[in-house]
Structure 1
Amino acid sequence: MIGRLKGNILEKQPPLVLIEAHGVGYEVHIPMTCFYELPELNHEAVLFTHFVVREDAQLLFGFNNKEERVLFRELIKINGVGPKLALAILSGMSAQQFVKAVEKEEISTLIKLPSVGKKTAELLIVEMKDRFKKLQSELFSVKNCTVSVLKSNSAEVEAVAALVSLGYKEQEAKRMIRRLDKKKPPVDCETLIREALRTAI
């Protein structure tokens, strides 16, 4: 089991990051809420990881802190919630926002996440409410990020591709990007994704 990874960031292609550690490049899937906080390229990053082995693939998921990894691990314990859906959930909202939505039983908020319908939202509330009682409340004290709405033609294609990889349909992803404010100056792909996800909730 690979539990922690420390190395230089070689590539950033949301939601994937390539990290080189001791001459080996690791492709790590990262929730967008964690992706925003990564250092720039060629800088060192430390990720807490969860390794998933399947018949057709070996996948490594990374998080900025142990708390986010705990939440991810609790999510994938739920029947019907795999790593891809857990990654999409943690990309669409922060850990704090997710805990709040579950505790207040905000089904309307949860169903705005990709691949989360009413039944899945209800399942998340029932399952996670019980699990939260067994975990320390400070476990999910992840800070929320606020950003301005920005637009960049060169970044739009990358942003749409990232949203699709998180579970949104292509047309839906394009609509999410088009809805952003066109009057602001251009910005990078990460900011577009972050704002598109924020406005979707």
Structure 2
Amino acid sequence: MISYLKGQVIDVVKNANNRLILILEVNQMGYEIQIPSRLARQFSENKSEIESIFTHFQIREDQAILYGFASAAERDLFRQLIAVSGIGTQLAIALVDTLGIEELVQAIVTGNIKTLSKTPGVGAKTAERIALELKTKLSGGRKSSGVSTTLSTAIPSREIIDDVEMTLLALGYTQEEINQALSALSQDQLLLKNTHVEEWIKSAIAWLS
């Protein structure tokens, strides 16, 4: 309903439930938006700045809540997290807060249960369910969009290509950018010998940055 809001950061406060609330003024109206602590720390150093906040609007029986994120990719991942059985909004925010979007996406697509379980409130079974359900969704989203995964490079395995693509697509990179990164990394003879997908993902993100 509300994709994003662009306005002036007025303040970040804690409400009665100890949630971090961003007060954002947009066209002389003040919006209360719950945000992750990572974003709150950023705004505490940059008050009065004009910022774009990507939002998720949730209506419950007794209240309406706006959740805010630094990027569309982070917001979209939050939406996928709350679609997983047993994952509510606060646990989804905790996952984003604890791991950050890059590490969180890497953990999901590689099935890294240990990393997902670092989040308070996420046990091994919940972590397994998140990895299973979201990896399938990310893979299905890529196939349904008609994205090509054909690369004529010496990358070790199809699994590595798939996991790198799923991670980077979830982070908002285009297929063209991903192909360029994989093509460039395929020239790294040392990396070609590495079968750990996490290293490929980190290297691709570093190259794209």
Q: Are residues 1:59 and 2:89 paired?
A: no
The answer (yes or no) to whether the contact 1:96–1:140 under 8 Å persists in 2 is no
Q: Are residues 1:12 and 2:12 paired?
A: yes
Aligned to 1:118: 124
Distance 1:130 1:19 in 2: 36
Distance 1:103 1:140 in 2: 10
How many residues are paired up?
A: 142
Aligned to 1:177: none
Deviation at 1:45, TM superposition (A): 1.0
What TM-score results when the alignment is normalised by the length of structure 2?
Answer: 0.62
The answer (yes or no) to whether the contact 2:138–2:170 under 8 Å persists in 1 is no
Identity of aligned residues (%): 35
Aligned to 2:51: 45
Q: Are residues 1:74 and 2:74 paired?
A: no
Given the alignment, which residue of 67, 84, 92 partners 2:90?
84
SS at match of 1:93: helix
Structure with more contact order per residue of length (Cα contacts < 8 Å, sep ≥ 6): 1
The answer (yes or no) to whether the contact 1:10–1:41 under 8 Å persists in 2 is yes
Deviation at 1:35, TM superposition (A): 3.5
Deviation at 1:7, TM superposition (A): 1.0
Given the alignment, which residue of 88, 101, 114 partners 1:108?
114
SS at match of 2:2: coil
Distance 1:33 1:101 in 2: 19
Which string of whole-angstrom CA distances, capped at 9 and with x for unpartnered residues, describes residues 141-189 of structure 1? 48xxxxxxxxxxxxxxxxxxxxxxxxxxxxxxxxxxxxxxxxxxxxxxx
The answer (yes or no) to whether the contact 1:32–1:90 under 8 Å persists in 2 is no
Distance 2:171 2:108 in 1: 15
The answer (yes or no) to whether the contact 1:11–1:17 under 8 Å persists in 2 is yes
Deviation at 1:36, TM superposition (A): 4.1
Given the alignment, which residue of 27, 33, 42 partners 1:28?
33
- More helix per residue: 2
Deviation at 1:52, TM superposition (A): 0.4
After superposition, the CA RMSD in angstroms is: 2.0
Bigger radius of gyration:
2
What TM-score results when the alignment is normalised by the length of structure 1?
Answer: 0.64
Q: Are residues 1:130 and 2:132 paired?
A: no
Which string of whole-angstrom CA distances, capped at 9 and with x for unpartnered residues, describes residues 64-106 of structure 1? 2211111111111111111111111111112210121122322
Distance 1:102 1:3 in 2: 25
SS at match of 2:126: helix
Aligned to 2:186: none
